[in-house]
Amino acid sequence: MPSPALVRRKEPEKFDLTAWEHESIERILKVTLNKDVAEKTSYDIVWLKYLAEEINEEGLAIERLDAEVIDRVLFARLSIEPQRTDDLEYMTVLASLPPQQTAFEYLIGCWKRLNATRAAFIKKGHPPLGTQNGLELLEKIRHLVVSYAGLTLQEPEMFTQPEGRVVGAQELVGPLLSLSALSAPLLSAPSASPNTLTPSDIEQFLQDLTRRFEPDNELDSVLGPVVRGLLFHESLFRPEGLGGGDAGWRGVISGLEVLVSIKSIATMITRMEEWNPPNVTAFNFEAKSLLGPLVRLGVFPREWPGIAQMYFSEPEKRTRNDIESSFASLRGTLKSLQASLFQIFNTIVRASPDAREAVLQYFARIISLNVKRAGMQVDPNTVSSDGFMVNILSVLLRFAEPFMDANYTKMDRVDPLFFANSSRINIKEETRIKATSEEATQWEDEHRNPSAQAPNFISEIFFLTIAASHFGYLKTISTYNSLAKLLEDIQRHLEWLEGDGSWMGSPLQARTEAAIRQAKLERDKVRAHQFAFEAGLVEPEHVYRSIGFISFLSTWLIRQVDPTRKHPNPLVELPLPVDVPMGFRVLPEFIVEDIVDTLHFFVQASPDKFDLSGKVEMLIFALTFLTSTWYIKNPFLKSKINDILFMSIWGYGREKNGVLGNLLNTHPLALKHLMPALMNFYIEVEQTGASSQFYDKFSARSIFYVLQSVWNNPSHRQTLNAEAQKVDQFVRFINLMINDVTYLMDESLSELTQIHNIQTEMDDKDAWNAQPQEYRRERENTLRSLERHASGYITLGRSTVEMLKMFTAEIKAPFMVPEIVDRLAAMLDYNLVALAGPKYQELKVREPEKLRFNPKALLADLLQVFANLGEQPEFIQGMARDGRSYSKDLFDRASEIALRARIKSEKEIEQLQILVAKVEEAKVVLEAEEDLGEVPDEFLDPLMFSVMRDPIMLPSSRTILDRATIKSHLLSDPKDPFNRAPLILEDVIPCPELKARIDEFIVQRRRESKARETEARMDLS
């Protein structure tokens, strides 16, 4: 075979470094010292005539540009003054300069050509030494170009600039704003310009600036003005805010994201004075701090009234789908903003330890400036805005997510001694859960460790989030809730204006119509504001994160009181130990308050969000502190915990049992502790220690709805029977139930009578129209007020009677104790008189369903209570002793009404009549036994005016009364009724001598009565 032909290797192209240097400098800087070169390019390459002459005068023979002259060449190019000159030869050069080009634009052009040259050079694959030398030259050019670019950002006037152009820091702000595709209106120049930074250029250019200026600590002065120009951009102060078609704020976000992605710049931003400006108020902090204008963007109407006007105008005419569409649009925008804000803060935190500390100080400063937001009456001009505070919380909630895993594995990393060892959040003026300020100070002093390390980041974020929620989000919720009251007032005023229409056709018509129009406009405005608040407060992802954090917080709080410190693995044992740990007692009360208020709001506003998580934690939190109420001092907080259970059984959507309805019937802790927890709380709420105690207790009676919701569960009824064995406690519960039925029924039936009377008066048209208009309006207002009050009383009263019906069907004995049975019988008889007595027609009102008044159902429940207890001898005796309301005629009328209304069967009525017959028999016997004639005053109970059977003396007032009387009194009030001194039953002093005298007196009088009866019978015979 012939031998293969030899392949001659191609010799590598010889690299002429000197020539390449000259060509590269000429191409990158677009300059030359040779007039002929400039002419050949039509002066696109600028002839530096005066520099060439200067070099010649120095005796230097420079035929080619090289590294030695780069600085002089670049400075000469930047120093060209394009105005007219007497040098006719040079006029062509000046005329050919790019029109209106700034020094920064020229340098950006150089920088971009430099990058292109470098890429092409590397691709050529020159020998290593040549490559090294070439790259060194390019880096020198880069160093000079970036240096002059930085200088022109700081001091644009150092070189001649075209008139009418914005120069300096704003030349970099523009490209930064262009990074968002949605911020096109902010662009100041076409992105395709070879002298403009495009989105793909910006990060590399910023990296080059950082490498050049950071080592000399000059980054602040170079990029500080750029950061200010970006973050105080006018697009952030436009009245439409997040709404409207101009999304300029997105450009600010995108620009800032690129800036902070470079760690040196992120750290530099936190060094700027405006990052956390001194000597500012909470109100202007968000305008004067660097991130303030961006963070304050939102949807809340005080700062952004245009949002409500744009998205929710004429709310009465909007369909629900229309409203939901507006919600979706606003919430999508808000979600995008909040996600970007977190990304920015998170990137800064990760930039350096100093930057992380600066971010934590920033959050803490916001909290310290806004302590006033937690007050009852807050001047909005003294605190930060709702949008600002809600967005800050959103950022903090996202920071908290990594340590809130489902199994709570990182919970112990939260430092329980945070407030002792950190001054980040000042709580000295805050009320504690169950400690005085002196106790709190002593505890902190005992646990403060000067040598301890600073709290970890998890602890910092955990407690900052709690505080941000308390001073921010929850105050915004409070403002939103106040709008409902305002709307109710406006609606009431509107109804008052409209009245009965008698103003029509009168001289007052025009004025009244104008007032009605104004009221409707105000109503629409408030309703639009409500929608705007809803858009911001219940953005779904924010709600999920809030529920997640509150679940974590409530679990952490229970772990602090769990003796094993392991809750929820395993679950805490209830009830808690009697001794409350001081570490728990000294915590700020607002921790518990925030859990309660947040759950309170979300259970009403977003119950469906609990479908994913939060139900179990909410239930365990409520049961823990309702079974161990002594752990919390504030009675109103305890009442709110009870309210959470109540609201959590409200149906929503397709879930008829509410958030917790199903869990209350299945969770082991609920099956074991719900009944005792509710009953104990029901008893405790009797004494709140507040001046409004008498009325406050009725707001806590909602426990009956919770009890009703679980009544059909045998496990709960079994627990109830077990509780009934604790006789003293259960009797107190029954006593309070009777008190409530008495009060609620009396109030509701009384107000129904007043409503009936006013409606009857209005039905007589002639007489009504003859009354003065002011009188008619006053009566109409009274009627509306009565209807509002009556509706609440009727609903709660009916619920309490239903619970009494259920309890008496299940348990009898506790209702039969002497201190209960007479009051129970008297209360039932009294209410039966109202429903079936001679005046029951006075309860007839128009539209009773509007008042939730169902007299038939109420009568049926009442009669069922009688039936439930009808076989109990003590109850029969109690009815017989009721000389105020009981009568056979009353029960005959009630039976007739029940049969006619078909609310009771004939068999049930027969049972009722048997009860009445037994009562009548007992009444005869009782009357015969109790005919004692004249009774000495010392034998009479001073409160009941009945003969004492077991006299005792009260230890402080030294008053003597019957044991049954004081037992009944102490069920409701643990104080001496004569001097209000504290009193318990064990302290009363028996009076055996007086008892013996009373017993002897009764025996003697009965003996005398019997003798008279015998004598009378003998006379008859």
Alpha helices in 882-1020 (DSSP H): 888-900, 906-929, 963-970, 992-1020
| Alpha-carbon dihedral sign for residues 401, 402, 407, 409 | negative
Which residues lie closer than 8 Å to 10 by C-beta, 6 or more apart? none
| Alpha-carbon dihedral sign for residues 773, 777, 780, 782 | negative
Quick one: tokens of 592? 């518990």
Q: Is the pLDDT of residue 500 over 70?
A: no
Comparing 90 with 301, which gets the higher pLDDT? 301
Quick one: tokens of 718? 């079994």
The CA distance from 476 to 534, in Å, is 11
Q: Where are the beta strands (DSSP E) in 662-743?
A: none
Give the three-class secondary structure for 969: helix
Q: Of all helices (H) and strands (E), which one includes residue 714?
A: helix 714-724
Write the secondary structure of 474-543 as one string of H (helix), E (strand) and C (coil).
HHHHHHHHHHHHHHHHHHHHHHHHHCCCCCCCCCCHHHHHHHHHHHHHHHHHHHHHHHHHHHHHCCHHHH
How does residue 679 score in pLDDT terms, banded at 50, 70 and 90? confident
DSSP code of residue 4: P
The per-residue pLDDT for range 119-128, each reduced to its tens digit, is 999 998 888 8
954 with 961: CB under 8 angstroms?
yes
The per-residue pLDDT for range 347-373, each reduced to its tens digit, is 999 999 999 999 999 999 999 999 999
User: Tell me, what's the pLDDT at 186?
Assistant: 43
**Phi, psi angles (nearest 5°) of residue 310:** -75, -40
Residue with tokens 């500390």: 357
Fold of the 937-1019 domain: Herpes Virus-1 (3.30.40)
User: Tell me, what's the pLDDT at 412?
Assistant: 94
Ranges 134-143, 284-293, 487-496: which has the least confidence: 487-496
The per-residue pLDDT for range 196-251, each reduced to its tens digit, is 999 989 999 999 999 999 887 789 999 999 999 999 999 888 888 887 666 788 99
Residue (of 610, 700, 699) closest to 663 by Cα position: 610
User: Tell me, what's the pLDDT at 742?
Assistant: 82
Strand-pairing partners, residue 982, are 975
How does residue 686 score in pLDDT terms, banded at 50, 70 and 90? low
User: Tell me, what's the pLDDT at 969?
Assistant: 80
The per-residue pLDDT for range 792-812, each reduced to its tens digit, is 888 888 888 888 899 899 889
Quick one: tokens of 459? 């602890």
User: Tell me, what's the pLDDT at 980?
Assistant: 87
Ranges 201-215, 322-336, 829-843, 897-911: which has the least confidence: 829-843
Q: Of all helices (H) and strands (E), which one includes residue 418?
A: helix 418-421
The CA distance from 901 to 742, in Å, is 25
The CA distance from 210 to 216, in Å, is 10
Domain(s) of CATH 3.30.40.10: residues in the chain: 937-1019
Which residues lie closer than 8 Å to 493 by C-beta, 6 or more apart? 519
DSSP code of residue 469: I
User: Tell me, what's the pLDDT at 848?
Assistant: 83
Amino acid at 134: G
Residue (of 162, 234, 155, 244) closest to 195 by Cα position: 162
DSSP string, 164-177: T---TTHHHHHHHH
Q: Is the pLDDT of residue 947 over 90?
A: no
**Phi, psi angles (nearest 5°) of residue 511:** -65, -40
User: Tell me, what's the pLDDT at 689?
Assistant: 45
Q: Is the pLDDT of residue 96 over 90?
A: no
**Phi, psi angles (nearest 5°) of residue 170:** -65, -20
Any long-range contacts for 783-791 (C-beta under 8 Å, 24+ apart)? 783/755, 783/758, 783/759, 784/492, 784/495, 786/751, 786/754, 786/755, 786/758, 787/755, 787/850, 787/851, 789/747, 789/751, 790/748, 790/751, 790/752, 790/755, 790/851, 790/853, 791/850, 791/851, 791/852
**Phi, psi angles (nearest 5°) of residue 952:** -135, 165
Any long-range contacts for 635-638 (C-beta under 8 Å, 24+ apart)? 635/684, 635/685, 635/688, 635/689, 635/690, 635/696, 636/688, 636/690, 636/696, 637/589, 637/592, 637/593, 637/596, 638/681, 638/684, 638/685
Ranges 209-223, 767-781, 822-836: which has the least confidence: 767-781
Chain centre distance of CA 248: 30
Ranges 221-225, 494-498, 959-963: which has the least confidence: 494-498
The CA distance from 996 to 842, in Å, is 50
**Phi, psi angles (nearest 5°) of residue 961:** -155, 175
Give the three-class secondary structure for 181: helix
| Alpha-carbon dihedral sign for residues 231, 233, 236, 237 | positive
The CA distance from 847 to 591, in Å, is 45
User: Tell me, what's the pLDDT at 842?
Assistant: 76
How does residue 43 score in pLDDT terms, banded at 50, 70 and 90? confident
User: Tell me, what's the pLDDT at 1017?
Assistant: 66
Q: Is the pLDDT of residue 484 over 60?
A: yes
The CA distance from 395 to 464, in Å, is 11
The CA distance from 762 to 758, in Å, is 6
Alpha helices in 725-852 (DSSP H): 727-763, 765-770, 773-810, 818-836
The CA distance from 740 to 812, in Å, is 19
| Number of other residues whose CB lies within 10 A of the CB of residue 859 | 22
Q: Of all helices (H) and strands (E), which one includes residue 141?
A: helix 128-154
Give the three-class secondary structure for 983: coil
User: Tell me, what's the pLDDT at 248?
Assistant: 80
| Number of other residues whose CB lies within 10 A of the CB of residue 413 | 13
Q: Is the pLDDT of residue 599 over 90?
A: yes
Q: Is the pLDDT of residue 545 over 70?
A: yes
User: Tell me, what's the pLDDT at 945?
Assistant: 76
The per-residue pLDDT for range 63-85, each reduced to its tens digit, is 788 888 899 999 999 998 877 66
The CA distance from 614 to 648, in Å, is 12
910 with 858: CB under 8 angstroms?
no
How does residue 692 score in pLDDT terms, banded at 50, 70 and 90? very low
Please give the mean pLDDT across all residues of the chain. 87
The per-residue pLDDT for range 264-295, each reduced to its tens digit, is 999 999 999 999 999 999 999 999 999 999 99
User: Tell me, what's the pLDDT at 563?
Assistant: 95
18 with 66: CB under 8 angstroms?
yes
| Cβ-based burial of 422 (10 A; exposed 0-12, middle 13-18, buried ≥19) | middle
186 with 174: CB under 8 angstroms?
yes
The per-residue pLDDT for range 357-413, each reduced to its tens digit, is 999 999 999 999 999 998 888 888 899 999 999 999 999 999 999 999 989 999 999
222 with 284: CB under 8 angstroms?
no
Give the three-class secondary structure for 31: strand
603 with 645: CB under 8 angstroms?
no
The CA distance from 702 to 694, in Å, is 15
186 with 235: CB under 8 angstroms?
yes
The β-bridge relationship of strands 951-953 and 960-962 is: antiparallel
The CA distance from 422 to 461, in Å, is 13
| Alpha-carbon dihedral sign for residues 55, 58, 63, 64 | negative
How does residue 189 score in pLDDT terms, banded at 50, 70 and 90? very low
| Cβ-based burial of 857 (10 A; exposed 0-12, middle 13-18, buried ≥19) | middle
The per-residue pLDDT for range 147-162, each reduced to its tens digit, is 999 999 999 999 988 8
Strand-pairing partners, residue 32, are 47
194 with 109: CB under 8 angstroms?
yes
